[in-house]
Amino acid sequence: MIPTKEVFAIDESEIHALIRDGRGGRHELMRILARAREAKRLTLSEIAALLRVEAPQDLAAIFAAARGVKEQVFGKRIVLFAPLYLSNRCANNCLYCGFRRENREAHRRSLSIPDILREAACLFELGYRRVLLVAGETPGEASLAYLCRAVEAIYRETPMPIVHVNAAPLSVEGFRRLKEAGAGVYQCFQESYHGSTYRRMHPSGPKRDYTWRLSVMDRAMEAGFDDVGMGVLFGLYDYRFEVLSLIAHARHLEQTYGVGPHTVSVPRLQPAPGAALSEAPHPVSDEVFRKIVAVFRLALPYTGVVVSTREGASLRDDVVRMGASQISAGSRTDIGGYADGAARAGTQQFSLSDSRSLDEMVHAVLDAGLLPSLCTACYRTGRTGEHFRRAAESGMLQEHCLVNALLSLAEYLERHGSAESRAVGVQRIAAALENVSDEALRRRLIDRLDRVRQGEADLHQ
């Protein structure tokens, strides 16, 4: 399984051999965790050993190491964002998805550009500062042009600073156009790296082509996307196979382009209205889910781990303490759901388990002793791809991002925060001031804090 620039492939028998390998034991686990704590690159064999761990005390050691690495690289920050679904029209037939072509019950809708702008403006008013555009797959020039127009219109007509895109694989030329339109991260999930599972789950449509999807990140990077988001849909096949394969894929990107994925997402299969598959063929328990998050954190220390609202509130509150660094909040997966509400919105892609609003998530993250971040400075200053990686490795994210996160939190609290989140947030920002040595930044933060306090006082008059 030596990746080359031309073709990346999964050697299924090698991955299965790693899973079957019986080596391990507590001494070996401690050796691997010591390396992981220093953010050393783990081998696939070491990662397989972590995935074999089941004993509660050994899992606890993995979770503690993941928490340590998360804090070392990203500090206490948890990035918050929302998906913005553009269209549920789709040429594919993925067995697990409510948007699938053969779901005759689906209420289909594609947002017009004015609709998209209303959704983006609505999200900005709620306090979001980055959105992830999501669309079903409709091949052809019209759909790429629609995606590009959507990205450009949001930047031009709304104050939303960052627009990421989750869309079907494009050609290199298509990616160049999407990049020129201003898309930040390009995200696409392999769903399953296991060939026969992949083909069974995707019986028809362009997505049936496993190889075209597997090579998507190479085309995106060749076209200039230095930040890409990868993921699999857990529950379709053996989670150990999927984790090892995704990490092999990430290593291929690191070796070929000098930078690995910006994010890894860990969705678990959830029931979806109109989906052909109602249960996961390979269910993943909550405990295994925690292990997956922690193993990704240790194996890819500089990559963001994203947990969506598919997961329930208590599990999400848990995994932000042990490795996850980005979470969606207040998500709607129906079409037009933010501005229009459920009555007019099109069918949703899957069922959500955590319906807390952005403000409730801000409060929950603060309650967990962490720092919600709505900061977009990296994208505004071009600190992406390799630049981001170097900043993370040098420890600069810790210092620099702490202040940016505090400023963005204060701005959020001042304009959008509820009385409850303001109360907790003000205390947290005030306590963090002592760690800010730069006098100018400290001043800015104190000014912001005063404005939040003033707003709070006004509320009580």
Rule CB under 6 A: which residues touch ligand SF4? Answer: 90, 92, 94, 97, 99-100, 136-137, 207
| CA 91, chain centre distance (Å) | 25
423: phi then psi, degrees, rounded to nearest 5: -60, -45
Question: In DSSP terms, which residues pair with 77 in a beta bridge?
Answer: 371
Q: List alpha helices for 77-215, DSSP H.
A: 113-126, 141-157, 172-181, 195-201, 210-214
Helix (H) or strand (E) holding 50: helix 44-52
Nearest to 125 by CA among 159, 153, 162: 159
Could you tell me the smallest distance in angstroms from the CB atom of residue 426 to ligand SF4? 42
Contact predicate 101/328, CB 8 Å: no
Could you tell me the smallest distance in angstroms from the CB atom of residue 244 to ligand SF4? 23
Contact predicate 154/118, CB 8 Å: no
Output 206 or 312, the one with its CB closest to ligand SF4: 206
Could you tell me the smallest distance in angstroms from the CB atom of residue 324 to ligand SF4? 22
Q: How many CB atoms lie within 10 A of CB 437?
A: 9
Q: How many CB atoms lie within 10 A of CB 419?
A: 10
Could you tell me the smallest distance in angstroms from the CB atom of residue 100 to ligand SF4? 4
Output 36 or 90, the one with its CB closest to ligand SF4: 90
Task: Dig out the tokens for 282 from the structure.
Answer: 């390979």
Contact predicate 287/237, CB 8 Å: no
Output 137 or 411, the one with its CB closest to ligand SF4: 137
Output 137 or 354, the one with its CB closest to ligand SF4: 137
DSSP assignment string, 216-237:
HHHHHHHTT---EEEEB-BTSS
Output 78 or 352, the one with its CB closest to ligand SF4: 352
Could you tell me the smallest distance in angstroms from the CB atom of residue 344 to ligand SF4? 20
Nearest to 141 by CA among 112, 190, 178: 178
Output 179 or 207, the one with its CB closest to ligand SF4: 207
Contact predicate 224/184, CB 8 Å: no
Task: Dig out the tokens for 356 from the structure.
Answer: 């807390």
Could you tell me the smallest distance in angstroms from the CB atom of residue 289 to ligand SF4? 20
Output 76 or 207, the one with its CB closest to ligand SF4: 207
Could you tell me the smallest distance in angstroms from the CB atom of residue 199 to ligand SF4? 14
Could you tell me the smallest distance in angstroms from the CB atom of residue 192 to ligand SF4? 12
* Distance of alpha carbon 98 from alpha carbon 104, whole angstroms: 10
Could you tell me the smallest distance in angstroms from the CB atom of residue 171 to ligand SF4? 17
- What's the half-sphere exposure (Cβ side, CA atoms, 13 Å) at 283? 7
Contact predicate 148/178, CB 8 Å: yes
- What's the half-sphere exposure (Cβ side, CA atoms, 13 Å) at 360? 11
Output 97 or 306, the one with its CB closest to ligand SF4: 97
Output 155 or 212, the one with its CB closest to ligand SF4: 212
Could you tell me the smallest distance in angstroms from the CB atom of residue 234 to ligand SF4? 14
Output 97 or 264, the one with its CB closest to ligand SF4: 97
Count of H-run helices and E-run strands, the chain: 20, 9
Q: How many CB atoms lie within 10 A of CB 424?
A: 17
Which residue reads 């007509």 in tokens?
157
